[in-house]
Structure 1
Amino acid sequence: MKQILYFFPLNPVERNTGSISRVLNLLKYFKSRRYNVDFISKQDWGNYTPQSIAAFEQSELADNLWVLKRKPVKKNPITYFFRYKLWHVLFERKLKLAKGSFPNHTTLHLRNQFDAILTKKKYDIIIISYAYWADLIKDNPHIGKSLTIIDTHDLLSSQHQNDVGFDPGVALADELRRLSHFRQIWTISAEETYFFRQFYKEKVRYIPMMMDDPGAGNTTFEQRDFDLIYVATDNPHNLASAEWFFTNVYPLLPKTLRFCVIGTILGHIPENLNNITRVPFAEDLHAYYHRSRVALCPMLTGTGVKVKVVEAMAHGLPVVCSEAGVDGMPEKSNNGCLVANDAAGFAEYIMQLLRDRELYEKQRRLGRDCFIRNFDTQEVYKKIDRALSDSLH
């Protein structure tokens, strides 16, 4: 039975981000293929409490869970300096941190804890999530013959381009250096796959997001309660997008339209909009998608595949989005999305879908077909099977 060591910095039981959904689905894949998984995470990134640790253990998605700390407890300043801080500075010099790049979160204390786990057990596969921690395996004598995989999740150089002191040339070179440590590079979007393959053609494996097919539902167009559904958290990209939509697009739409808005983005939407049903949190989105007609994704910025777009496609909802809404998609057209970057065009597409039943059904069908071809769990499982088969057999 194959043994896997899996590093991911967040707590999977929180279930509140697309990256966590990805990890949960990968853990389910490994369980379905009868792999043994030891899971490593970080205390200061993931929200780990005795209750959440117990919840993760009860999920049986991993055999063991280790929650590592970024640095040791600082009880005595002098002892801390000589026993850890001084050695950490030397460790960072050895890593040759690139000034102007995005952060490198690999600390000496993390590396020591990671190495201690490797000395106790041999692993067939070691997976590291995000290039922030790629140097956990750099020049690591304990790796042995393990298949090392970096699950990129994103092009981090792009995510940090607005940081103070950021140098795009330095960051891209540093990101490529970090990825070079691994035997396989897993990408989630079409754009990142193309970019990384220009440098590491044989290493890159396209492993898109996946979800079980929920079906399009049996509720007819007339039976649906909501004309529009908008699902979003309150991250900076969504905040800017929501402000643009409700300032520029919303005034162009009839006030008789019925909106359903779900998620923490609600805290930033005006309270006086009476045609909005507000759902701060929904454990299960299926029912809301099946009660809605058209999905919205007015993203202005952000990289990678938009999870809510794929969810809408899976449920048979046409999507109206800006150009950023189809970022990461393997199919840029005929995918169930109508794309407009200007407010008037965005509003017009919404109204066309609600008034033109033939167009509505066509877009609905295109979205479902695109989902089945690219994101259905069983289709992605085949991609993972091939990726692991290439290196393990």
Structure 2
Amino acid sequence: MESKEHILFIVSRFPYPLEKGDKLRAFYHLKELSRQFNVTLICTTDIPVSEEHKQIVSQFCTRIHIFQLTKWGLLLQLFKAMLGSKPLQVHYFYRKSIHRRVQEIIAQSKPAHIYCQLIRVSEYVKNEHLIPKTLDYMDALSKGMERRIQTEPWYKKWFYRLESKRLKAYERRIFDYFEHKTIISEQDRKLIQHPENQRIVIVPNGIDNSFFETLPIHKDYDLVFTGNFSYAPNIEAAVCLAEEILPRLHQNGIPCRLLLSGASPSKRVLELQSGFVTVTGWVDDIRVSYQRSRIFVAPLFIGTGLQNKLLEAMASGLPCITTSLSNNALGGVDGENILLAEDIDTFVEKITQGLVIEGKFSLIATQGKHYIERLYSWEKQTLKLLQLLQKPLL
């Protein structure tokens, strides 16, 4: 039997638990790539990684190297960032000592390919010119920062303006150091300001369809929104739901209940808890949150990339109402497999239809589930990445 080739897989956060989009994407890419390659995982982390989590990820890796980022090191890097020109997040995840260890690992293991998830770890391998490399931009991070300028308090705007400018320049500059580039969506590819950005291969996120099967659970919530609630776009959406959409529904005589379910709820999100709003925090099985609810609503007006929460909700058989911004990467068809709203009035109108008219969105929910099952399995989405990693250095 022919032995598998060896690849190096570098991430900025340990890919478990799956409470953030980058960790979920890395986890399933590792799972799929391990079928074809022997994978050495290198990751930085600013929090301890439990043995249980290591064991879960180790089933897809031949070796795992975890590098702890200390608080003192973080302070030093933040100081350097203020004096330098690279994005703050690139400085945040970089250490010279880790760089030396990465070079040693490469020299010892001689990988056939190096894969980096996110530009924030690209400094570790950008000058490795004898091994083919793939950079997963994932999202246009610069645009995400730019959009936050409009929503952050005045005293934070300078930071997001500076980071957006630096990210935009770095996204363009790092492009030429890597033979192959990937990104989640076409809309994000267009936002990478490099003249050859069409060379970036689109590798969308996927879904584990077998995991998100419909469960026989009583629906005790009318609306649900999920996500990491320390992330600004999710916080904005949660506040919009609880303080703008829900009161309007109540005024219209629809006393519906909202479930906000996801990791790390910020103080602002926790303050939304009321008789009609439940904030769960982290849940062990997110499927239960979807299945306890009638409609998934995502009023996301900022943010980039393909929303995993949309994939999960549709795969769970829920009718989904969201914005065209969130749907751009997904490619759903309004009124066929998804419902789109661009303002509060339209969200209220469509939610009202779904709650008042029995079975109004049943067909849309069914077609949405079939759409995800057909196009968005992780196995299908990872095929393009597999092809890139099998290409030799030219």
Q: Secondary structure in 1 aligned to 2:177?
A: coil
**Aligned pairs (5 A) from 1:261-300:** 261-263=260-262, 264-265=264-265, 268-270=269-271, 273-300=274-301
Pair 1:24-2:10 in alignment: no
Q: 1:79 corresponds to which residue? A: none
Higher RCO structure (Cα 8 Å, ≥6 apart): 2
CA contact (8 A) 1:183 1:203 kept: no
Identify if the C-alpha distance between structure 1 residues 198 and 55 changes in structure 2 by more than 3 Å, giving closer, same or farther: closer
Larger radius of gyration: 1
Q: 1:361 corresponds to which residue? A: 362
Amino acid of the residue matched to residue 68 of structure 1? F
Q: Secondary structure in 1 aligned to 2:134?
A: strand
In structure 2, C-alpha distance between the alignment counterparts of 1:159 and 1:147, rounded to whole Å: 29
Identify if the C-alpha distance between structure 1 residues 298 and 180 changes in structure 2 by more than 3 Å, giving closer, same or farther: same
User: Once structures 1 and 2 are overlaid, which stretch shifts more, 195-204 or 306-315?
Assistant: 195-204
Deviation at 1:210, TM superposition (A): 1.3
CA contact (8 A) 2:114 2:132 kept: yes
Q: 1:67 corresponds to which residue? A: 66
Pair 1:258-2:260 in alignment: no
**Aligned pairs (5 A) from 1:15-54:** 15-33=18-36, 35-44=37-46, 47-49=47-49, 52-53=50-51
Q: Secondary structure in 2 aligned to 1:16?
A: coil
Deviation at 1:181, TM superposition (A): 0.8
Q: 1:104 corresponds to which residue? A: 90
Pair 1:210-2:206 in alignment: yes
In structure 1, C-alpha distance between the alignment counterparts of 2:299 and 2:118, rounded to whole Å: 26
Structure 2: unaligned runs, 5 residues or longer: 150-157
Identify if the C-alpha distance between structure 1 residues 227 and 382 changes in structure 2 by more than 3 Å, giving closer, same or farther: same
Deviation at 1:241, TM superposition (A): 2.2
Amino acid of the residue matched to residue 41 of structure 1? C
Q: Secondary structure in 2 aligned to 1:283?
A: coil
Pair 1:181-2:177 in alignment: yes
Deviation at 1:308, TM superposition (A): 1.0
CA offsets, 1:47-105, max 9 Å, x none? Answer: 234xx14631454221211123568999xxxxxxxxx99xxx9xx9xxx9647x55433
Amino acid of the residue matched to residue 227 of structure 1? D
User: Once structures 1 and 2 are overlaid, which stretch shifts more, 265-274 or 206-215?
Assistant: 265-274
Q: 2:228 corresponds to which residue? A: 233
User: Once structures 1 and 2 are overlaid, which stretch shifts more, 297-306 or 18-27?
Assistant: 297-306
Pair 1:10-2:10 in alignment: no
CA contact (8 A) 1:216 1:290 kept: no
CA contact (8 A) 1:316 1:368 kept: yes
In structure 1, C-alpha distance between the alignment counterparts of 2:56 and 2:302, rounded to whole Å: 37
TM-score normalized with structure 2 length: 0.80
Counting matched residue pairs gives: 366
Percent of counterpart pairs with the same letter?
19
Amino acid of the residue matched to residue 159 of structure 1? G
CA contact (8 A) 1:353 1:359 kept: yes
1:121 to 109, 115, 123: 109
Identify if the C-alpha distance between structure 1 residues 306 and 271 changes in structure 2 by more than 3 Å, giving closer, same or farther: closer
Q: Which runs of 4+ in 1 moved over 6 A?
A: 71-74
RMSD over aligned CA atoms reads 3.4
2:53 to 43, 46, 55: 55
